[in-house]
C-alpha cells in the first residue's frame, strides 16, 4: 500500500513501491490525463509536477513520490477555471492530436512559474517534450502571448 497526494487529495493505493508514478496515477488512482509515451523519460508526455517541479512520471517511482505534492493535468484548473496556459492553448489552437499536450502544458506551466517572461532560448532549454504532430510553433506563440499578457 502507498499514499500519494495528488491534486491536493491523498489516495491510498495497493501498489508496489517500485511502480512508476505514471502507472500508479493512470491505473491505481485513475487519472488518465497523464500519458504514456515512451517509458524512458524521453518524450515528456507523462510530465507532472512533484513539489512544483516538472518531472517525467515514468521515471519516478511511487516510493520516491510518496510524501510529495503531485499535480497532474487534472489539477491545473482550480475550481473549473482553466489556468493561463490551458486558456492560451485554446486561444492559439495549439493541440493537433493532443496526446502530448498534457505533458506539454505541465512543462510550460512549470517554466512560467519560475520564469514568467521566458526568452526563446529559455523556451528551447526548458521545453524538451516530443510532439510528433509538430505543434511547436503554436506552443512558442502561446507561451510568448502569456508572458506578454
Partner 1 sequence: MNKHVLPQLNRRAFVIGAASVGAGLAIGLDLPFGGPSVVRAADGSPEVNAWVVIRPDDTVVIRIARSEIGQGTLTGLAQLVAEELECNWSKVQTEFPTPGQNVARKRVWGDYSTGGSRGIRTSQDYVRKGGAIARVMLLQAAANEWKVPVAECAASNSVITHTASGRTTTYGKVAEAAAKLQPPADVKLKDPKDWRLIGKSVKRLDTADKTTGSVIYSIDLKLPGMLNAAIKDCPVTGGKVKSYDEAKIAGMKGVKKVVKVGDSAVAVVADTWWHAKTALDALPIVWDEGENAKVSSATIAKWLAEGLESGPAYVGNQSGDVNGALAGSAKKVEAVYSYPYQNHAAMEPLNATALYTPDKCEVWCGTQNGEAALAAVLEGSGLPADKCDVHKHLVGGGFGRRGQTDYVRQAVDIAKQMPGTPVKLLWSREEDMTHGRYHPITQCKMTAGFDAGNNLTALHMRISGQSILFSLRPEALVNGKDPATFAGLNANGEAAIGYSIPNILIEHSMRNPHIIPGFWRGVNVNHNAIYLECFIDELAHAAGQDPLAFRRKLMAQHPKHLAVLNAVSEKIGWDTPPPQGVFRGLAQFASYGTYVAGVAEISVVDGNKIKVHRMVAAIDPGYAVNPAQIERQTAGSFVYGLSALVYGGCTVKDGRIEQTNFDTYNSMRIAEMPKVETIVMPSGGFWGGVGEPTISVGAPAVLNAYFAATGKRLRSVPLRDQNISFA
- Burial class of residue 101, CB neighbours in 10 A (0-12, 13-18, 19+): buried
User: Which residue number, 45 or 54, has a Cβ lying nearer to partner 1?
Assistant: 45
Q: Out of 100, 110, 111, 112, point to the residue binding partner 1 (CB under 8 A).
A: 100
Q: Could you give the strand order of the β-sheet that contains 47-50, starting from the edge strand earlier in sequence? A: 9-13, 2-6, 69-71, 47-50, 53-56
In the complex, the smallest distance separating the C-beta of residue 125 from partner 1, rounded to whole angstroms, is 7
Task: Kindly state whether residue 133 participates in binding partner 1, applying the rule CB under 8 A.
Answer: yes
In the complex, the smallest distance separating the C-beta of residue 8 from partner 1, rounded to whole angstroms, is 16
Which cell is 33 given? Answer: 490525463
Q: Out of 73, 111, 112, 146, point to the residue binding partner 1 (CB under 8 A).
A: 73
In the complex, the smallest distance separating the C-beta of residue 64 from partner 1, rounded to whole angstroms, is 16
Q: How many residues does the chain have?
A: 149
User: Which residue number, 14 or 116, has a Cβ lying nearer to partner 1?
Assistant: 14
Sign of CA dihedral 92, 93, 97, 103: positive
Q: Which stretch binds partner 1 (CB under 8 A): 49-57, 63-71, 84-92, 109-117?
A: 84-92
How many angstroms separate the CA atoms of 53 and 109, rounded? 10
Q: Out of 33, 59, 63, 64, point to the residue binding partner 1 (CB under 8 A).
A: 33
Sign of CA dihedral 73, 30, 44, 134: negative
Q: Are 95 and 101 in contact (CB under 8 A)?
A: yes
Which residues lie near partner 1 (CB under 8 A)? 16, 19-20, 23, 26-28, 30-40, 42-43, 45, 72-74, 76-77, 82, 86-87, 89-90, 93-102, 105, 123-125, 127-140
Amino acid at each position: 500500500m502507498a499514499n500519494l497526494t495528488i491534486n491536493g487529495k491523498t489516495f491510498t493505493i495497493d501498489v508496489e513501491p517500485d511502480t512508476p508514478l505514471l502507472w500508479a496515477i493512470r491505473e491505481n488512482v485513475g487519472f488518465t490525463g497523464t500519458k504514456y509515451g515512451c517509458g524512458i523519460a524521453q518524450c515528456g508526455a507523462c510530465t507532472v509536477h512533484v513539489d512544483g517541479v516538472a518531472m517525467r512520471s515514468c521515471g519516478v517511482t511511487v516510493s520516491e513520490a510518496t510524501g510529495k505534492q503531485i499535480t497532474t493535468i487534472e489539477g491545473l484548473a482550480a475550481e473549473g477555471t482553466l489556468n493561463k496556459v490551458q486558456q492560451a492553448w485554446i486561444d492559439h489552437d495549439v493541440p493537433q492530436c493532443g496526446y502530448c499536450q498534457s505533458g506539454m502544458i505541465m512543462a510550460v506551466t512549470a517554466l512560467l512559474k519560475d520564469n514568467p517572461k521566458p526568452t526563446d532560448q529559455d523556451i528551447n532549454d526548458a521545453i524538451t517534450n516530443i510532439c510528433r504532430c509538430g505543434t511547436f510553433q503554436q506552443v512558442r506563440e502561446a507561451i510568448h502571448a502569456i508572458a506578454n499578457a
